[in-house]
Amino acid sequence: MKNLKKKVMAISAAAVLSLGLSMAVTTPANAFSTIEMHQACRLDNFGHHQGSILWTAQLTYPSQGVYGWRCYFDDSPTAWSTAPKYGMKVQLICDYIYGGSARFTNQSDAYSWYCG
């Protein structure tokens, strides 16, 4: 009986530990990378060059967290500082590529966007 109790406790502890580890790994694996944010810019229509590889995502306002991303048309060496910046519609990447709704896990973390 004593050994059975130890086995049950060990299995329970292992299950809880593995559940915690899988939950910790799941969110970062789903978070968007900067490359995916570039893709969101390319999907948007800012009135010119829609779909061009020259559309670039930039974390222009890091203090705004998930809302700090902007899109600009990177057609010159100084475009990052001189080109107009447009607000990003993150939902586009979910609509066209992953499905679901654009969500984030931490409003302060610009890299916590994912589709869910």
pLDDT at residue 1, as a whole number: 52
Position 14 confidence tier, pLDDT thresholds 50, 70, 90: very low
Q: Which residue has the higher pLDDT, 47 or 86?
A: 86
Q: What residues contact residue 108 under an 8 Å CB cut-off, 6+ apart?
A: 65, 66
Domain ranges of the chain: 1-29, 31-115
pLDDT in tens, 18-43: 333 333 323 445 688 888 899 999 99
Helix/strand/coil for 87: strand
- Decide: pTM greater than 0.75: no
**What's the rounded Cα separation, in Å, for the pair 41 and 70?**
8
Buried b (16+ CB within 10 A) or exposed e, 40-77: bbbbbeeeeeeeeebbbbbeeeeeebbeebbbbbbeee
